[in-house]
Structure 1
Amino acid sequence: MTALNIQYVNLEKSENLHRHRTQDFSSSRTLVVRRGDPFRVSLQLAGRPFNPTADKLRIKVMLGRLYVLMPVAYSKKPAPSPRWRAYFDPESLDLHNPSIFILPPASASVGFYRFRLSVLNGGRWKTNAQARFALLCNPWCSEDTVFIPFEDQREEFVLSDSGLLFMGTAMNPVARPWSFDQYEPGVLEACMNLLQVSPQHQKNSRRDYLKRNNPVYVGRVVSAMINSEDDRGVLKGNWSSDFKQGVHPSAWTGSGDILKMWANSGYSPVKYGQCWVFAAVMCTVMRVLGIPCRVITNFNSAHDTNANLVIEEYYNEMGQKLKLSADSIWNFHVWVECWMTRRDLGQDMDGWQVLDPTPQERSGGVYCCGPAPVKAVRDRRIDLIYDIPFVYAEVNADVHMMIVRDGRVLKRDKDTERVGALICTKAIGFPQLQNITRDYRHIQSPTLSIRSRNSAVSNDSTLPRGSSESSSGSSSESSSEGVVLLLTLDKAPVAGEPIRFTVHAVNKQNVAKTMKVHFNAQAKEYNHSPLDTFWETHGVLQLAPLEAKVVKQHILPAQYEDVVGDNMINLAVVLEDTATQERFLCSEEFNIASPQLKIEIAQEKSVVFNEEQVATVSFTNPYSHPVSGALTVAGAGLIQGKVQFRMASLSPGGRAQQNITFTPGMLGTKMLQANLELQSVNFTTIRGFKMVFVHRA
């Protein structure tokens, strides 16, 4: 019999991408498939047809220097197995152009593979063809350790290439749009190369390849590789005010630019990142690898440096917050959760796992964190791996607030509710905040004065400002046997409007009191102690026996606009009893809601694939002074790259608008986002987004 002559192998890319739900990776030159499901390759023969009883074929699949040899069997799809399989399906076999199905096990390692097809000819194996493919985890496969049971979850946590990151404060969360960009050209390759560049691979590539079948291992490697503290990681962190050597963290709008910049530089760290950038880039990498991932925000996140579950804060007698403690509370901190089975810990720990790529503390000698099961954090299972005590402290530490003078504590209060006040993520399928605090903490009753926890975010805005069932502000309380002191924001502050707040003082005794009153406001970054005081006022308050008084105050826009920018405000009030020298302290940290860019699309409900559309971006200046800046518009799957425009000086109350033409290149729900970087003393960016559904033509 003449030898079987195979001219070439067709990877049937279109069919396989659709079968494996990887069609959005079509820009990659590599076939992308998921483990646990077969993919088909067809053979183009020259000469005689295939003879199932006489012709023997085998396939060699290679990952680095690791390989497996498997004969091509003549059978139906085999049952799930920990071994690779290759087979002809007898029910659909075309003897002139036969198809081979290759079935990776659900426990195969992720990575770039090669395979060679050989034919037995005259007692010798002859290689006839070879090709390359990328293998990802498979959340659709019940045997895979990343299997997640519902389609809407898989759509949101694996396939979605855009989302929202929540910033600001618990009383006034701000939804920031982010493009994960996992389908942009070059991103898949950068994510795969991240594993190759890791110290684990460089030290022992064989061991690394073998362990890449486990999402727990992959998660730790990626967590360490997103930051550059121990390796050739993606991002260099910078929490100073000097970003001249790179990009301000607030300027990034998506992961694609960062990952491609890193890869194109020969794997030099990209400057600069902060927590939300680290987390968003890690979310991209994990989704590319097929591991379900979502971005989490913890408002009032504790960094407990001495592991005593207590955060100390110090104020002077005038209400100015002091930099005297190594402990800190970030107004918000952002990490990711990944969904996986924890065979190393038992099925009780399956589900969402905390992974934090922001370099804060070392874990196993490396700047990484997790995966810590969320269930273990909630139940304080500090006996388990990985990093559960650190994450537990981030959401559960107590706060001790002290007034000090000359090293002596004059007043001490304890707050057990502030840390972990709100833990949230983007809701499935909607641009909306989902409150998941109870996943992390055992809460008996709602935390005081947390606003907008489940408020919807409109498609072109941030969260509604100050919506609440009771009051529209936030409050802090201090009390003793003598006086009750309460500080309340009248509403969530908005740029261009006065910050209005109220102090309630109650004399609980039958003795008249003369109280000195000190108000103090300091600008602060979300993760730092406050800067110098920018506003203060002082006075005297007379309280008759058992009297309650209300004091109204406000800070005008002209007093805070040039200082705050994208920063927060720490506001404090101190009462001092002139007779007893007893002091009472209340403080509140809050953000000021920025103005928004409005995005409108003329034919919003009929946006069609590959047809030109027009969007209009508009901005109204709410500030008390003229502004100018640069407008950037982007949208993965909608716009190639980014488009930029200059906005001329706009007077207070003035309105500017810009038309943008775009042609959708992908189907489904996509995000169009716009950012206006204002030219001012502080780095201030105005943002807006619009969710766009692209229909088939």
Structure 2
Amino acid sequence: MAEDLVLESCDLDCSSNNRSHHTADAGCTKLIVRRGQAFHVKLHFSTRGYEEGVDNLAINVETGPQPSQECGTQAHIPVSDSLQEGAWSAAVSSNDGNELVLSINSPPDAPIGSYNFSLEASTGYQGTSFHLGTFILLFNPWCPEDTVYIENEDQRTEYVVTQYGIIFQGTKNSINSVPWNFGQFEDGILEACLQLLDTNPKFVRDSSRDCSRRNDPVYISRVVSAMVNCNDDRGVLYGRWDNQYDDGISPMFWIGSVDILRRWRKFGCQAVRYGQCWVFAAVACSVLRCLGIPSRVITNYYSAHDTNSNLLIEQYLDEQGNKQKKQKDMIWNFHCWIEAWMARPDLGGGYDGWQVVDPTPQEKSEGVYCCGPAPVIAIKEGDLGMKYDVPFIFAEVNADVIYYVEQKDGTVKQTVSTFQVGQNISTKAVGRDNREDITHNYKYPEGSEDERRVFEKANKLSGLEKEEERGDASGITIKIKGSEGMNKGSDFDVFAVINNGTEQDKECRLMFCGRTASYTGDVGPQCAMKDLLNLKLEAQSEKKVPLRLNYEQYGCNLTEDNLIKMMALLHDYSTKDIYLATRDIYVKNPDIKVKVMGEPMQNRKLVAEISLKNPLNEPITGCSFSVEGAGLIEGLLEKTLDCPVEPGQDAKVRVDLRPQQAGLRKLVVDFESDRLKAVKGHRNIIIAPQPK
């Protein structure tokens, strides 16, 4: 009888496997592979080599606390002479003396997560089991049979592998690019993402069912949407929107997901304070990319929050444009969510591709603060019955806005805006820092036949028969326009532009004012006002009325969002009609400059000089720079200045970098002080590979 096989060691060959599975950026200390794709392990036997026909080998794999074959979380895999597609299988790749190389293949619909695996070796009637170690199995966008497969290689690189990005903020007329370090391959992030799955209430209630459902990106994205906020669970982020952040960190401070996820994990899954929509979205994007689901951050300008599901946003104003307390519906200046790429076999044909997933806690979905995945095509087509939460997102990009303006005598005038909601829907372009406008993915052009068709379909599906009030036939229009140089610390003009397209001269009253505002639409104190009681409009003419915004008035009440909400109300004395225009003005922060000194090369020290010029007419104090960059710097680095920075002078620091990885990297910077807050900057750095 042949001598028993004795396993001396097992080499998981993490470096080679991780490279071929597109996970090498996460390091080579653990085996991280993608489902539907083979990986190999090297087995070293001490007594003798493997003999085909004499030795019987099998691999056991299992995931979760209660693995079972029935749940798909356990598999017994006999070693054969060839791999089997679409199922767990193992085969001999090479046999060289006492070293045996096995190839192991996972099915493209296997549950993701951390797996233990072992070897069973038997010779005759005797058998022995050897623990081989652990591996982490992820979704595989490179595998055509995986439901997250995305065909284009550039898109796979952008939406799965790239660790940095751009998030768009500001206003639809002044779009602001904010850099973000997703850092999905940084140390500890994969462990934090797996811990997030193991902390979710569905796992706590029934771990077997939860782990078995981790084969489905629809299920995973829904869990992540719920767990990135902490409203129902031990989620990652605590949301706050009242500018009271002294017991935590302002949402405007963050420049990446890495520090947030590490804090959450380090402090026993206590929610990190604080987040707002772009922070929730960016962290969810990091988690999904880490798990292998292609994802990207989306910004929707003038995003509606429809609280009563009637596809109408009802705004109540007094005759001076002040919001009234009975108002519940809201229009956010911008709102961020993510899109995740996946097939939707649960919905039948036609709904594969990008799905909206929104982790910002707004409304409950099936009793939990989560939203999506909702097929973008279902939103565009008005298919409100498709899972999940399509009606809510449809309203965010398509709702009509009705303004009810109450006069002093108690009468109410009504004005309708059908074009305000859902504008300039934006995401970062593939392979570039440019903005890509994807509004056409969500809605047909306003006024087109397709837009009318979708509008009518959505009304019927929502159970409402909303009357259409489109456009304005009176011949009078009013718009608000900005000017050059709307920079923080500067005085500048904003204009109400009124067109009288009628054949009659008009005498009107114009109330034109500005209030500091947050991006959610909440307004603060008035910072500029003009009330013209007898404004004359000549027939077939245009009049431009300026309103001066002085830094002395707006600066002290400006929130970290740097927004001023402008509103113009025009009363036509002859017809008693009211015309309304609104616009959000973004007050631009100064630029951050990043100068790189030295030759950017892998594993070679590099110095970045970071500076910002004080644009205010007063000193700024408490100045500090925070820096992140996946592959450039470990974690979040903060540099504080000891002295105030005088007007026109530079705040300046130097930061040491030691690039660990070659290729394009992004250094992301935040600047904070007493008078200038949440100033962002970035610098792309191309790192040359280390010479061999």
Fold match (TM-score > 0.5): yes
Specify the code of the residue in structure 2 equivalent to 1:541: L
Residue 574 in structure 1 maps to residue 569 in structure 2: yes
* TM-aligned CA distance change 1:147 to 1:75, over 3 Å: same
Rounded Cα–Cα distance in structure 1 between residues aligned with 2:83 and 2:687: 36
38 and 232 in structure 1: CA distance in 2 versus 1, 3 angstrom threshold: same
Distance, in Å, in 2 between the alignment partners of 1:508 and 1:7 is 89
**Residue pair 2:59, 2:79 contacting (<8 A) in 1 also:** no
Note if contact 1:522-1:535 (Cα within 8 Å) is conserved in structure 2. yes
Question: What is aligned with 2:26?
Answer: 25
Shift of 1:536: 1.3
Amino acid at match of 2:46: A
Match of residue 389 from structure 1: 391
- Supply the AA of the counterpart residue of 2:482: L
The aligned counterpart of 1:66 is 67
- For the residues of structure 1 that align with 2:199 and 2:241, how far apart are their CA atoms? 26
Match of 2:454 in 1: none
- Is 1:190 aligned to 2:192, yes or no? yes
After TM superposition, list the pairs within 5 Å mapping 1:278-289 onto structure 2. 278-289=280-291
The residue that corresponds to 1:460 in the other structure is: none
1:137 & 1:343 partners in 2: Cα distance?
A: 16
2:334 & 2:476 partners in 1: Cα distance?
A: 31
Q: CA deviation at 1:251?
A: 1.2
- The structure 2 residue matched to 1:660, chosen from 655, 658, 679, is 655
User: C-alpha separation between the residues in 1 aligned to 2:267 and 2:571?
Assistant: 59
1:611 to 604, 629, 642: 604
One-letter amino acid of the structure 1 residue matched with residue 638 of structure 2? Q
How has the CA–CA distance of structure 1 residues 228 and 504 changed in structure 2, closer, same or farther, with 3 Å as cutoff?
A: closer
Seen in structure 2, the aligned counterparts of structure 1 residues 509 and 21 have a Cα distance that, compared at 3 Å, is: closer
2:117 aligned with 1:77: no
Looking at structure 2, the residues matched to 510 and 21 of structure 1 have their Cα atoms a distance apart, in angstroms, of: 68
273 and 506 in structure 1: CA distance in 2 versus 1, 3 angstrom threshold: closer
Of the three residues 455, 479, 502, the one matched with 1:486 is 479
The 8 Å contact of residues 70 and 86 in structure 1, kept in 2 or not, is answered as no
Q: Give the Cα separation in 2 of the matches to 1:285 and 1:587.
A: 37
Task: Give the Cα separation in 1 of the matches to 2:421 and 2:37.
Answer: 44
Q: Which residue of 2 aligns with 1:594?
A: 589
Question: Please, which moves more after superposition, 524-533 or 129-138?
Answer: 524-533
Kindly indicate whether residue 111 of structure 2 is the aligned counterpart of residue 109 of structure 1.
Answer: yes
Is 1:478–1:485's contact at 8 Å kept on the other side of the alignment? no
**In structure 1, C-alpha distance between the alignment counterparts of 2:498 and 2:114, rounded to whole Å:** 67
- Matches of 2:122 and 2:498, distance apart in 1: 92
For 2:535, give the aligned amino acid: L
Instruction: Report the counterpart of residue 643 of structure 1 in structure 2.
Output: 637
Q: Which amino acid aligns with 1:9?
A: C
Distance 1:569 1:480, change over 3 A: farther
Q: Report the Cα distance in structure 2 between the residues aligned to 1:529 and 1:407, rounded to whole angstroms.
A: 27
The gaps in structure 1 that reach 5 residues or longer are: 447-476
Residue in 1 that maps onto 2:526: 533
8 Å contact from structure 1 (residues 634, 641) kept in 2: yes
> Which structure 2 residues correspond to residues 242-261 of structure 1 after superposition, within 5 A?
242-261=244-263
Count of paired positions: 658
- Structure 2 counterpart of 1:633: 627
Query: Where do residues 343-354 of structure 1 align in structure 2 (5 Å cutoff)?
Result: 343-354=345-356
Deviations 1:369-411 (A, max 9, x none): 1110001110011121111111100000011123213584543
Does residue 1:519 correspond to 2:512, yes or no?
Answer: yes
Q: CA deviation at 1:218?
A: 0.8
Match of 1:86 in 2: 90
Superposition deviation, residue 75 in structure 1? 1.4
AA at the equivalent of 2:413: K
Q: What displacement does 1:192 show?
A: 0.5
SS in 1 for 2:678: strand
From the superposition, tell whether residues 123 and 393 of structure 1 become closer, same or farther in structure 2 (CA, over 3 Å). same
Structure 2 CA distance for partners of 1:276 and 1:504, relative to 1, 3 Å: closer
**Contact conserved, 1:557 with 1:624, CA < 8 A, in 2?**
no
Q: Secondary structure at the match of 1:487?
A: strand
Inter-partner Cα distance in structure 2 for 1:54 and 1:602 = 63
Shift in alpha-carbon separation, 1:348–1:479, aligned structure 2, 3 A = closer
Q: What does residue 134 of structure 1 align with?
A: 136
Residue pair 1:402, 1:409 contacting (<8 A) in 2 also? no
> Would the aligned equivalents of 1:9 and 1:129 in 2 still touch at CA under 8 Å?
no
Tell me the equivalent position of 2:161.
Answer: 159
CA distance in structure 1 between the aligned counterparts of 2:131 and 2:339, rounded to whole angstroms: 41
1:574 Cα deviation from its structure 2 partner: 2.4
Sequence identity (%): 36
> Which aligned pairs between 1:218-367 and structure 2 lie closer than 5 A?
218-367=220-369
- Residues 69 and 411 from structure 1, CA distance in 2 versus in 1: closer, same or farther, beyond 3 angstroms? closer
Q: Report the AA paired with residue 8 of structure 2.
A: Q
Deviation at 1:236, TM superposition (A): 1.3
CA distance in structure 2 between the aligned counterparts of 1:482 and 1:188, rounded to whole angstroms:
59
SS in 2 for 1:276: helix
75 and 618 in structure 1: CA distance in 2 versus 1, 3 angstrom threshold: same
Report the CA distance between 1:267 and its aligned residue: 1.4
The amino acid that maps onto 1:377 is: I
CA contact (8 A) 2:82 2:90 kept: no
8 A Cα contact 2:49 2:97, kept in partner = yes
Give 1:26's aligned amino acid.
G
**Matches of 1:340 and 1:641 in 2, distance apart?**
31
Q: Please state how far the C-alpha of 1:531 moved relative to its aligned partner.
A: 1.8
- Residue equivalent to 1:467: none
Which whole-Å CA distance do the structure 2 matches of 1:194 and 1:380 have between them?
Answer: 33
Deviation at 1:483, TM superposition (A): 4.3
CA RMSD of aligned residues (A): 2.2
1:508, 1:176 → 2: CA distance?
A: 41
Structure 1 residue 442, shift from structure 2 partner: 0.5
Contact kept in structure 2, 1:394 and 1:420, CA below 8 Å: yes
Q: Look up the equivalent residue of 1:203 and give its one-letter code.
A: R
- How far did 1:595 drift? 1.3
1:144-155 to structure 2, matched below 5 A, reads 144-155=146-157
